[in-house]
Structure 1
Amino acid sequence: MSKIPLTIRGAEKLREELHRLKHEDRPRVIQAIAEAREHGDLKENAEYHAAREQQSFIEGRIQEIEGKLSNAQIIDPAAVQAAPKIVFGATVALEDTDTEETVTYQIVGEDEADIKQHLISVNSPIARALIGKEEGDEAVVQAPGGERTYEIVEVRYE
């Protein structure tokens, strides 16, 4: 399996979720299953089936996170020596050449992406258009609404 790029912050969030799942959610569901068993007939016990389903989800998520962390390539964006080129971890200020609006994104791993926090996946169309470019370059992005052109205003690693 190939390495999964993650920032330090992204890896820490996954570790926190893993800890919560193992030490809070899993014991709570095990307790719920035990309580539901005490209610008798398991065939028609909705609480039991719901708790088992939740347990299955939790165990699956634990395995998924453990797999991602074991295959993670954790990258500290502040230590990246790629400037002035844009690579994973870069924080990039872009200006839309049509609207002249400026927006800033950080290129992060797939699991860290959150557009509301201006974190875009390294596999997103915008990030793919930016990788390898420098300040002053233009990047053409194939967006659902059509082609967009952005000027790269600033590149920093923090």
Structure 2
Amino acid sequence: MSQYPMTARGAELLRKELNELKTVTRPRIINSIAEAREHGDLKENAEYHAAREEQSFCEGRIQDIEGKLSNAQIIDVTKMDNTGKVIFGTTVTIMNLETDAETTYRIVGDDEADIKNNLISVNSPIARGLIGKELDDVVNIQTPAGTVEFEITEVEYI
């Protein structure tokens, strides 16, 4: 199986979700199924079918998280020397050379990506354009509006 790159924070969030699913959600669903069974005929019991569907989703998510954690390649950039090079896990500030607008992104794994919080997937076009570049480099990144020229103004290993 392939390795899943993940930040230490991302791995911790997955572990918390897994613990929540196993200790809170799973027992609640089991109780819901037991209560629904007591209502009688299972063929026409919507509560029972809804609880079974929720159980299926929960078990699938548990398997998904366990698989990702077992194949996780946890990368903690805080323990690395800052060379000014953009790598997985770094926080990068880029400036659009046309508009002088600055944006800061953190390059994270697919499961951690959240554009609203400026967490971008390592597989996103922006991250792919930045990985391997260094502080003060100028990069051209393909966006929906066309190719945009950015300058890397800061690289943090935080």
Q: Structure 1-normalised TM-score?
A: 0.97
Gaps of 5+ in 2: none
Distance in 1, Cα, partners of 2:38 & 2:153? 64
Q: CA deviation at 1:80?
A: 2.6
Q: Percent identity?
A: 63
Name the SS for the 2:100 alignment partner: coil
Q: Please show how residues 35-114 of structure 1 align to structure 2 within 5 Å.
A: 35-81=35-81, 83-114=83-114
Q: Say if 1:83 and 1:156, in contact at 8 Å, map to a contact too.
A: no
- List 4+ stretches of structure 1 deviating above 4 A: none
For the residues of structure 2 that align with 1:112 and 1:81, how far apart are their CA atoms? Answer: 23
In structure 2, the residue corresponding to 1:151 is in which secondary structure? strand
- Offset of 1:35 from its aligned partner? 0.4
Q: Do 2:8 and 2:74's aligned partners in 1 also have CA atoms closer than 8 Å?
A: yes
Gaps of 5+ in 1: none
CA distance in structure 1 between the aligned counterparts of 2:149 and 2:44, rounded to whole angstroms: 58
Q: Which sits farther off after the overlay, 9-18 or 137-146?
A: 137-146
CA RMSD after TM alignment: 0.9
Report the residue type matching 2:95 in the other structure.
Answer: E
Structure 1 residue 144: deviation in Å?
Answer: 1.8
Instruction: Count how many residue pairs are aligned between Structure 1 and Structure 2.
Output: 158
> What's the CA shift string for 1:50-103, capped at 9, x where partnerless?
000000000000000000000001111111336221110111000011111101
The separation in 1 between residues aligned to 2:35 and 2:71, in whole angstroms, is 37
